[in-house]
Structure 1
Amino acid sequence: GVYEEGQISIEISLKALENGALNQVIQAKNLESNKILKAKVLSSSKAQIL
């Protein structure tokens, strides 16, 4: 997953908890903290953390 704030971009490992189409918002789990996050699907292997 990608988190962007201004010119800063951070990538972290996420596990999708549901299927989603392009641009759909899904729930995903941060594999380091185990927190559940909302993420927008950008491609089959990339999502933007909201």
Structure 2
Amino acid sequence: MNNCVEAAPLPGAALAVRDSKDVDRPPLRFSAAAWSTFVAGLNPQAVPRRFS
């Protein structure tokens, strides 16, 4: 199981996210609002049935 995502808080209500297997690449940066929207979309009940 090598499918890890690392996340770290940044100043200004932001978040840095990277693949733990590829630490030489720059992390993706998200605002707190954008990250919250993404995580909320991971809720299986939020996914339309046609994708289930």
TM-score (norm 1): 0.34
Q: Whose radius of gyration is greater, 1 or 2? A: 2
Bigger RCO (CA 8 Å, 6+ sep): 1
Task: Judging by fraction of residues, say which structure has more strand.
Answer: 1
Task: Judging by fraction of residues, say which structure has more helix.
Answer: 2
